[in-house]
Structure 1
C-alpha cells in the first residue's frame, strides 16, 4: 500500500509540476504579448484600431461660377438616384412589380415592360437605369409621393448648369459626379474650383455605432473657390436668342459672336454655334470655342484704331492723301490694297 501511495503522490506531484510549468509559460506569454503587442508579426494595436476605429470622409463643395451680377451659371446641387429592393427578406421590398412598373416607368424614362422585367429578377436589389440617376429634388419628391413599396433613394452631389446652353463653350462642363472637368473654365480653373475633402476619425462599438468620445479627430473639408465672370446675363441671353434665330434661318456651318465693353475690354457675352447644353454633355458635337481658338481678320473695321492712334499722337492731318495700290517693301515683299491696282488717291 505504501508503494502504491508513493506512486500516486509522485504522479500527483508531476502533474502539479507540469501544471505550474504550463501556467508559468502561459503567464510569460501573456506578459510578452502585453509588452510587445505583437503576435506572429501581427501588430495587435493596429488590428484593434482597424476593428474599433472608423474613418468617414467629409466632402467639400466645388466652387460656384457666377456672372457679374452674382447669378450662378455653374453650381453643385444634391441629386438623387432610385433603386429597388427585391428581396422578400426585407421589410420594404417590391410587392407588386406590375403596378410599380406602371407608376414608376414614366418618371424614369423606361418602358413599363422593361421595368417590370427588372423588378421580377431574383436579386437582392437592382439599379433602375440611367433615367433613375441624377434626379432633381422635385423629381425625387414626385416619385416618393407614389409611396411604392421597395423603392428607395440614394443622395449624391452633382454639377448643374441652371442656364442650360448659356455661354456653354466658355463655362465648359464637368462630369455629373465632378470627378473630371472636361473643358472651358471648369477645366482651366479646376485647381481653384476643386474642394479638398476632410475626414473624421472616431471609435465605435462592434456594431459600428460611434462611441461618445470628445477626442474624435476631425479634419475639416475645404470648399473650392467661387469664380465671378464679366459675363452679363441680360446681354448673354439676348445674344443667345439672336444667335439661335440666325442659326434657324440660315443654318450656317458655324458662328461666333463677342460683346465687349469698349471702355474696359471686359467680355460681356460670347456665344458659338453649334452649341450644347452642359447638363447633357453626352450630346456635344462641337467642343471648339471659335471666339478664342480661330483667327479672324477684322479688315477695314480696324482702320478706326489706326486713325485714333494718329490723332492721339498728334500726327493726324485731315488734308493729307495717301497712295493707294501697292508698296514695295524690298525686292521680295510687296504690300497691297485689296484691289492691287489701287483705289485712287483718297482721303483717309
Structure 2
C-alpha cells in the first residue's frame, strides 16, 4: 500500500471521528439549551421521563398446536396485566390525580371487577410500594394476564392510577379438548415466560417455546418506552408449530359421548381412543373426568389414562388368543366344546388338563361371565358369545405356553409402545401359574395399557400388519413452513 493511499485512509477515519464527536457534542448542547432530546424530541424535564435503564427479555411467541385439518387447538392471545402507578406527579388531561393515593379504595374498586382477588393483599402490595417510593407496581395473583374483555371493564371503571401492560396467555378455543393428552401451558413466574405444565404442552416445550430475545431501553414513569432509546441485543426466535393427527370433529364427538356415558351410567371414569388402523394415526383421544385447559385450577388426575393407567382389560383380550391359534396353525375351525365351567388340574409335565365339573383339584374353577352356560357350541360361537371357557380350551389343548407368551410379546403387550412425546406405563405380564396363564387369555391376571391394546388391534384390522400409534404428525417452523420433524 502506498503512502498516499495510507494517508487518505487515515484522513477518512479522522473525519468520521470528528463528525461523530460533533454530533455527540451537538446533542449535549441541544439538550442543555432546549431541554429536549435531539433524536426523540422528548422534554428531559418532563416528569413523565425517568432516567432508569431497563434490561429485559423479549418473550418469544409460543408455537400453535393444530389438528390434522389446520384447526387451532392451542394458541397465544393478547392478555393484560394490571399496573398501579404511584408517582404523585402524574395527572390526567383534566389535571386530576392519575396515581394511586388510597390503597384500600383502589383494592375495593378492583375487587368489584375481579371477585377472585384478595382485597387485603392488593391493598398491602400498594402500601408497601408507596412506602418504598416505587413509581409503579404489579398487584399479584388474579390481576395478571387478564382477558381483553376484563381489561376493558376495568378501564371503563376509570380507577385512578390503574393501567395495563400487554402480555400474552395460552388459549384453548375448544377446551376441554383431549385435556390430559394436550395438557396446558401457563405463565411460570420463575422462568418469566409461558411454559408447558402438562401433556404435550410440557413434553414439546423445547419446540413450542422458542428462544427469548434481549433488549435495553430507557423507561418513562408510566412504564412505556422512551422513543429513540431501544437497543436490541438478541432477536427473539418464535417457537415451532405442532401439527397433530387428531381430528377436531371426531374429538368433539368423543368428548360429548364420554360426558354422556359418565352421566347416564353414574360412572366415575371413561376413556375412548380412535385410531386409523392402516397408519397408526390417533384421530381422537379422550378421558373423563376432564378439566378446562383455559382455567386449570381443578385437575382430577395428572395421569394420562390411555397410556399411563395399567388395567386388566377383560374380554377384549380374547381375539388375541384366537389370533395366536390361527397364526400358529392350531385353531380348531368348526369344532365344538362344552361351555359353562372349566375345572382343571395339571399333570407332572405342567400341562393343563380339564376334568369333570365338581372335581376338587385345588385350582379355582373358571366360569363364563354372569353364570352363563351356552352348552356345546363351536369355537366361532365361543368368540361371538365372549366365552371364557373357549379361551381356556384353546390355551389348554391347542396353543401352548411358549406360543402364547411369544405372541403376547409380538403384539406389544406389557412393553412401551414408544409413542413420541406421550408418557407411558409398561403393564405387568403375569402368566407363570396355570390360573394366571388362563386368566390372562380373557383379560385378567395381567395388566396393560389401552394404548398397547389399540396398537395390537391394528394388526387384527390391518391384515396382520401392526402399526405404532402416534399423535404428533409434524413440527413446523411457522415463518418458513419448513418441516423441523416428521413422524
Give the structure-1-normalised TM-score: 0.66
Equivalent position to 2:367, from 327, 332, 339: 339
> Paired residue for 1:73?
73
Matched, 1:143 2:161: no
Q: Residue 281 of structure 1 aligns to a residue in which SS?
A: coil
Q: Deviations over 1:298-334 (max 9, x none)?
A: 4544555666788899998753457875696983474
Alignment RMSD (CA, Å): 4.5
- Cα gap change, 1:276 to 1:187, in 2 (>3 Å): same
Q: Residue 238 of structure 1 aligns to a residue in which SS?
A: helix
Distance in 2, matches of 1:111 and 1:193, equals: 31
> Paired residue for 2:304?
289
- Cα gap change, 1:128 to 1:122, in 2 (>3 Å): closer
Question: Which consecutive unaligned segments of at least 5 residues does structure 2 have?
Answer: 1-50, 92-97, 131-135, 219-224, 355-364, 381-487
Q: Deviations over 1:114-149 (max 9, x none)?
A: 599569847535544433221112222232233333
Q: Deviations over 1:146-195 (max 9, x none)?
A: 33331100122222222222111001122334454222111211222120
Give the structure-2-normalised TM-score: 0.49
Matched, 1:163 2:174: yes
| Pairs within 5 Å for 1:22-33 | none
Q: Residue 141 of structure 1 aligns to a residue in which SS?
A: helix
Distance in 1, matches of 2:304 and 2:207, equals: 22
- In the TM superposition, what is the alpha-carbon distance from 1:86 to its structure 2 partner? 4.2
Distance in 2, matches of 1:149 and 1:75, equals: 33
- In the TM superposition, what is the alpha-carbon distance from 1:102 to its structure 2 partner? 6.8
> Paired residue for 1:31?
none
Q: Is the 8 A contact 1:105 1:115 kept in 2?
A: no
> Paired residue for 1:61?
61
Q: Residue 349 of structure 2 aligns to a residue in which SS?
A: coil
Equivalent position to 1:261, from 276, 292, 296: 276
> Paired residue for 2:83?
83
Work out the number of aligned pairs and report it. 294
Distance in 1, matches of 2:319 and 2:122, equals: 70
Q: Is the 8 A contact 2:122 2:140 kept in 1?
A: no
- In the TM superposition, what is the alpha-carbon distance from 1:293 to its structure 2 partner? 0.9
User: More deviation in 250-259 or 294-303?
Assistant: 294-303
The structure with higher relative contact order (CA 8 Å, sep 6+) is: 1
- In the TM superposition, what is the alpha-carbon distance from 1:63 to its structure 2 partner? 1.2
> Paired residue for 1:252?
267
> Paired residue for 2:255?
240
Q: Residue 186 of structure 1 aligns to a residue in which SS?
A: helix
Q: Is the 8 A contact 2:208 2:240 kept in 1?
A: yes
| Pairs within 5 Å for 1:168-317 | 168-177=179-188, 178-199=193-214, 219-304=234-319
Question: Which consecutive unaligned segments of at least 5 residues does structure 1 have?
Answer: 1-50
Distance in 2, matches of 1:331 and 1:196, equals: 65
Distance in 2, matches of 1:310 and 1:257, equals: 29
> Paired residue for 2:30?
none
